[in-house]
Structure 1
Amino acid sequence: MSLKAHAQGSTCPPTKPGVLRLYSMRFCPFAHRTRLVLHHKNIPHEVVNVNLKDKPDWFLALNPLGNAPVLQIDDKIVVESTATSEWLDDVYPENRLQPSDPYRRAWDRVLLEYMGKLTNGFYSAAGSPAAELQGKLDEIMKHFQFFEDKLRERGEGPFFGGSKPCMFDFFFWPTFERYPALAILQDSPAARLDPQRFPKLTALGKAMERLPAVKAAGLDAEKHSVFIKGYLAGKPDYDLFLEE
């Protein structure tokens, strides 16, 4: 199946009975979460990519919110990154990612809620004029400090899940993977994460990069920066780097 994004006027590829399908966008950090879970748990699936700026009618019929990710298998449809990821963890329970301890699970939900500050801060800084960049970076570093402190408090590591990644590690990673693109976009070494200030997050990043799921679903900072530059200019190219 082609990885090129389906836009308005396209026809939805026919589904197959019993085959799990992910409607995605290759550069979407939220769909990235679900792709990580699919790869980490080795769940067989197919992918249909969607142009999120010029959405097909058939995609809006599946998800009137018009965002990715969307999972479909037969007559079941699940939307939104956390819902799809947690549903996958429940339906395919091997290699469980959600914590069994209620307190840890509650705190992972708190961390997830806080993630919005970091993600919004990243995209705000990516499109910021040079005169405003340092103020944006100061805010981002406050958010990174929050996660650095939480990793230290857990006293485990290198993951938020301890010696093995948990669901929140995969919710956190897409923004963390994209963060190095900020220094490229702004041509600013000040945007880089200081490993001396953030040793726990630095160790987390190295551990995540070794995971097969991260290798399978990820892109490097240069590729992220090219897409984000087009996205911020209102001209996202959803088929970047595809040879087909």
Structure 2
Amino acid sequence: MTQKAYTQGSTFPPTKPDVLRIYSMRFCPYSHRARLVLNHKKIPFEVVNINLKSKPDWYLAINPLGTVPALQIDDKVITDSVAAAEWLDDVYTESRLQPSDPYRRALDRVLLEYISKFYGSFRDALKSTDPTTLQTNIEETKKHLQFYEEKLKARGEGPFFGGSKPCMFDLLFWPMVERFPVLAVMKESPTANIDADKFPTFTAWVQAMKELPELKATGFDTDSYVAFFRGYLKETPDYNLFLKE
């Protein structure tokens, strides 16, 4: 099966009985979430990448929203990155990621909801063309990072939000953090860099996360994200970037 993105007019790749499939896009942070969970739990799966600018009709029949990720196994289809991740954790019970304590799970849900503020200000900064607006957006993003710095420090349990081991929130947050360094490169703004002295707990978390096998099996380096985002900002994203097949 090709890694290249299926586009309008393409033929639907037939599913196989009992084989879990993820509909994805290689550079999408939300798809990245699901792939992290799949790799963490060592779940066998196949990937079908989707061209989000020219979606196949057969994909819209599977997921009318046209978003990724979506999981499919036999007649079951799960859309939305959080729903997909939680479903995987509930069905494949090895290496559980969700906290067993209901209160802790609720606290992690609050952290999860706050990601939209962090990633929203990051995207605003990435799209900024005015230097003053850019700096305002960078400062706003740093404010949201400070929120996570304080929450992680308050837990005081280990390098991860889950303590000595990563929890679901760690994996759901990471894709947005992995993309953050593109800001300093694309905007040529040193102020976008994360100062380890100001964010020591968050910086330690980043370093611990980078050592996880599931992270090494997914995602890209900063230069690769920069290359993708340059096309994305021009509304000409190359979903097949770096693929030769």
TM-score class, shorter-chain normalisation, is: over 0.9
Corresponding residue for residue 233 of structure 1? 234
Residue ranges of structure 1 left out of the alignment (5+ in a row):
none
Residue ranges of structure 2 left out of the alignment (5+ in a row):
none
Q: Once superposed, which parts of structure 1, at least 4 consecutive aligned residues long, lie more than 6 Å away?
A: none
Corresponding residue for residue 149 of structure 1? 150
Whole-angstrom distance in 2 between the partners of 1:230 and 1:192: 22
Q: CA deviation at 1:228?
A: 1.1
Whole-angstrom distance in 2 between the partners of 1:108 and 1:145: 16
Q: Secondary structure at the residue paired with 2:217?
A: helix
Corresponding residue for residue 213 of structure 1? 214
1:26 maps to a residue whose letter is R
The 5 A counterparts of 1:145-224 are: 145-224=146-225
Whole-angstrom distance in 1 between the partners of 2:22 and 2:12: 13
Whole-angstrom distance in 1 between the partners of 2:198 and 2:155: 18
Tell me the percent identity. 61
1:32 maps to a residue whose letter is H
The 5 A counterparts of 1:31-180 are: 31-129=31-129, 130-180=131-181
Corresponding residue for residue 19 of structure 1? 19
Q: CA deviation at 1:125?
A: 0.5
1:59 maps to a residue whose letter is Y
Whole-angstrom distance in 1 between the partners of 2:132 and 2:153: 33
Q: Secondary structure at the residue paired with 1:22?
A: strand
Whole-angstrom distance in 2 between the partners of 1:174 and 1:223: 14
2:44 maps to a residue whose letter is P
Q: Secondary structure at the residue paired with 2:87?
A: helix
Q: Secondary structure at the residue paired with 1:16?
A: coil
Whole-angstrom distance in 1 between the partners of 2:203 and 2:77: 37
Q: Secondary structure at the residue paired with 1:225?
A: helix
Q: CA deviation at 1:85?
A: 0.3
Under a length normalisation based on structure 1, what TM-score does the superposition of the two structures give?
0.99
Q: Secondary structure at the residue paired with 1:18?
A: coil
Under a length normalisation based on structure 2, what TM-score does the superposition of the two structures give?
0.98
Q: CA deviation at 1:156?
A: 1.2
Whole-angstrom distance in 1 between the partners of 2:96 and 2:178: 23
Whole-angstrom distance in 1 between the partners of 2:163 and 2:242: 35
Whole-angstrom distance in 2 between the partners of 1:135 and 1:40: 36
Q: Secondary structure at the residue paired with 1:217?
A: coil
CA-based RMSD of the aligned residues comes to: 0.7
Q: Is the 8 A contact 2:27 2:219 kept in 1?
A: no
